[in-house]
């Protein structure tokens, strides 16, 4: 995994029957059980190549792998970047994030992020629950465009976080994918975990104890010979969820190199379309709709954005110009 150090140790007699989080402390990997639990929750710890709960009792000979996050020296500084602000008041701000912009600072992106851009616009955000992630109650990937809501104070942050927890936030995406699902609408359900063979990726599993539950509802907007345009609604919000689910049903998102969305493009006969997809610096996933209850007024707010201009050529060449 990028920017992470791999630490490995085997369970000896002294660690046998210990909880996994306790063993991480005793092995000197983390300073506290809470830190160990956080890393386990973030899929940074595996036992014999599999994810286990913090309460897992270690057995003699178990092999523990820990991907230790790199320590990064980050100072939140303003980033001069134009933003499309859809809505703003004293409590929340809704932005239309362009593809290519990382949401919050991390290793490799210390200052060129959405959070830094909001600071440049002199927008005050809530402290948030994690360092360097002020205002954030949800995220979308760097290669995804679309709507994102951020909290401007702690009361708003807590209120929005509870809405996400209760699954009352409305989030709808559009994705242009290769092929298409067999049914015109349906649900993809299962469990998502990190791919042991490639820590940048996540994979689908049908085993309840093998990842985090993930549910995506889909509806086909339009089909063409090689592509389908899907409308996707999230019931859960796991990392890479839509990308993993569509790859799992053999309908990878066009341009998504991590989940086979460019591999298929190499066999296209249309050279113009093939070149366009292979040179894309994003994938064709857009967070099109967002709805939530305003933390202070109680009003139900709804926002919608069109397909961004940087996807227009792809939509036109693949037969979807009528939806732009």
151 token code pair = 């909290």
Where would I find the beta strands (DSSP E) of the chain? 4-10, 45-47, 63-69, 85-88, 92-97, 145-151, 170-178, 185-195, 198-205, 212-223, 227-234, 285-293, 300-304
Catalytic residue among 89, 141, 209, 257: 141
Q: What is the pLDDT of residues 22-45, one digit of tens each?
A: 989 888 888 888 888 888 888 889
Residue 170 has pLDDT above 70, yes or no: yes
User: Phi, psi (5° rounding) for residue 155?
Assistant: -65, -45
59 token code pair = 């057995």
Q: What is the pLDDT of residue 1?
A: 46
Q: 291 forms bridges with which residues in the sheet?
A: 170, 302
Residue 74 has pLDDT above 70, yes or no: no
Mean pLDDT for the stretch of residues 198-221: 92
Dihedral sign of CA atoms 290, 140, 312, 251 in order: negative
Q: 87 forms bridges with which residues in the sheet?
A: 94
Residues in the chain: 324
Q: What residue ranges define each of the domains in the chain, with the CATH number in brackets?
A: 4-69 (3.10.290.10), 72-166 (3.30.2350.10), 173-287+312-323 (3.30.2350.10)
Mean pLDDT for the stretch of residues 244-253: 98
Model confidence at 176, pLDDT cuts 50, 70, 90, reads very high
Residue 257 a catalytic site member: no
Residue 169 has pLDDT above 70, yes or no: yes
Q: What is the pLDDT of residues 84-124, one digit of tens each?
A: 999 999 999 999 999 999 998 876 777 899 999 999 998 99
Angle made by CA atoms 138, 261, 211, in degrees to the nearest 5: 50
């Amino acid at each position: 995994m990028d920017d992470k150090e791999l630490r490995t140790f085997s369970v000896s007699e002294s660690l046998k029957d210990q909880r996994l989080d306790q063993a991480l402390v005793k092995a000197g990997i983390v300073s506290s059980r809470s830190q160990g639990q956080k890393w386990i929750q973030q899929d940074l710890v595996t036992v014999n190549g599999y994810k286990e709960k913090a309460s897992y009792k270690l057995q003699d000979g178990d092999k523990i792998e820990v991907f230790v996050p790199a320590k990064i020296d980050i100072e939140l500084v303003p980033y001069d970047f134009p933003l499309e602000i859809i809505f703003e008041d004293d409590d929340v701000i809704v932005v239309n994030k362009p593809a290519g912009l990382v949401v919050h600072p991390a290793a490799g992106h210390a200052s060129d992020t959405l959070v830094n851009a909001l600071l440049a616009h002199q927008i005050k955000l809530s402290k948030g629950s994690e360092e360097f992630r002020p205002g954030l109650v949800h995220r979308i990937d760097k290669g995804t465009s679309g709507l994102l809501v951020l909290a401007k104070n702690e009361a708003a942050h807590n209120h929005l976080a509870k809405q996400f927890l209760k699954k009352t936030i409305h989030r709808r995406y559009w994705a242009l994918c290769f092929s298409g699902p067999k049914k015109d609408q349906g649900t993809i359900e299962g469990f998502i975990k990190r791919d042991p063979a490639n820590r940048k990726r996540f994979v689908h599993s049908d085993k309840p104890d093998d990842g985090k539950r993930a549910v995506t509802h889909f509806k086909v907007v339009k089909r063409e010979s090689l592509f389908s345009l899907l409308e996707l609604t999230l019931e859960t919000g796991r990392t890479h969820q839509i990308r993993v689910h569509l790859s799992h049903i053999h309908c990878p998102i066009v341009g998504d190199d991590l989940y086979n969305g460019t591999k298929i493009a190499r066999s296209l006969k249309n050279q113009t379309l093939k070149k366009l997809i292979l040179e894309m610096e994003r994938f064709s996933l857009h967070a099109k709709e967002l709805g939530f209850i305003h933390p202070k007024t109680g009003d139900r707010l709804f926002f919608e954005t069109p397909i961004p201009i940087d996807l227009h050529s792809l939509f036109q060449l693949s037969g979807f110009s009528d939806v732009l």
